[in-house]
Amino acid sequence: MSKEKQKKFGKPKSFSKYSNSNLDPLQKTSLLSKIFGNQKKLDDARKSFFSSYKFESNINPLRLITFLLLISIFLGFGMFFIERSNEKIYTNWKYQGISSVPPSNISNFDQVIDFSKKENLSNCDSLDPKLLLEGICDIPLKYVDEMNSTQSRSQVLYIFQFLLMFILFFPLGTFFHRALRNIKTLKYETSISPEKSIVWIYFGIFLYFLAVFVSKFISKDFNISFAIVFLSFIFLSYRLYKIFIEIYKGSLLVKTDKSFSILTNKFKLWFVSYISIMFFNPSIITRFWAYNIGNVNDLADATKLMYYSSGVIILFCFFSVVLVAEIYKLQEIKNLKFGSITVDPLQ
């Protein structure tokens, strides 16, 4: 009876070749993993995660980061000239006596009629197709078309800039992860984990953007919504400071205990540009500094802030290139002068 139960509930022989606990009782392989061929990759990942590593050059991530940041700089110049042109258009509207902001499209034609009535533009007060063909709304439609074109040009570049920033996260993560690993190979003792540090940075960036986008939904009060963004900025800045202070301590040739003297002038310039872009980027401007646009004068002022923001983006990208290049050079020089060691994570 016991033999029959053992046969009935025992492990089928046909599956024994896919999973054999006698070979490695800690790693039981499922049939599905074997079919799709993922087990070998998992085994390699387990072995490589705790494997020893040596000094690695950051030249390839540096080249990619520099290339992408140069594109971002060109986009920043494009944003600057477009916003500058838009600001001139809105200023001309003021000189023409226009005070109300025209609608950006004609999907709701009642808004066009309302705009025409406010500004006393011709006799645009009807939706009759015959009257529209006679040109009763040509003048207000001209302003609507200009408003649509100015907004569309700006939005296209903002979208490209945002996508480029998202792409930059990957080579930047690789660069700083490798830089943190390299300081250990350069004989600098630290308890910081490169993997955890990068995860904390990504988490801080996520919190910042989440705070920017939801702060106005949480509260319309300026102080409360701005405090939410500011707290996320403090958290991200703290995480960045911890990473950079360790990288500079492990990369500089001269050892010092003074944190402020460890950070170079290039880093300080980058940090100033970092603070500027965190509180003066297009998302912050539209949600805080130019949130309520009631007339053309407000629109022109908001556009002026936008092309100032473009200048901040250009400076931030430039100093970012300078910063990563400096970190790369410091580590390469220290490696050439003092050599490096092999680091075993398990020791």
Model confidence at 26: pLDDT above 50? no
pTM: 0.78
| Angle ∠(274,275,281) on CA atoms, nearest 5 | 80
DSSP 8-state symbol, 107 = S
Q: What are the residues facing 343 on neighbouring strands? A: 53
Residue 284: which CATH number?
A: 1.20.1070
Would 186 be classed as within a structural domain? yes
- Who has greater pLDDT, 87 or 4? 87
Query: pLDDT tens, 39-90?
Result: 566 566 555 555 776 878 889 999 999 999 999 999 999 989 988 888 888 8
Instruction: Residue 311: give the domain boundaries.
Output: 57-96+158-337
The DSSP code sequence of 15-78 is GTTT--TTT-TT-PPPHHHHHHT-HHHHHHHHHHHTS-B-----HHHHHHHHHHHHHHHHHHHH
Residue 8 placed within a domain: no
pLDDT in tens, 237-258: 999 999 999 999 888 887 766 6
Residue 41 lies in a domain: no
Q: Average pLDDT, stretch 169-185?
A: 91
Q: What is the pLDDT of residue 270?
A: 94
Whether residue 14 lies inside any domain: the answer is no
pLDDT at 132 over 70: no
pLDDT tens-digit readout, 271-309: 999 999 999 988 888 888 887 777 888 888 888 888 889
CA–CA dist 274, 66 (Å, integer): 17
Q: Total structural domains in the chain? A: 1
Please indicate whether residue 266 or residue 139 has the higher confidence score (pLDDT).
266
> Looking at the domain assignment, is residue 28 inside a domain?
no
Residue 262 lies in a domain: yes
Q: Is the pLDDT of residue 27 over 80?
A: no
Least confident of 135-139, 168-172, 230-234: 135-139
Sign of CA dihedral 98, 100, 104, 105: negative
Residue 109 lies in a domain: no
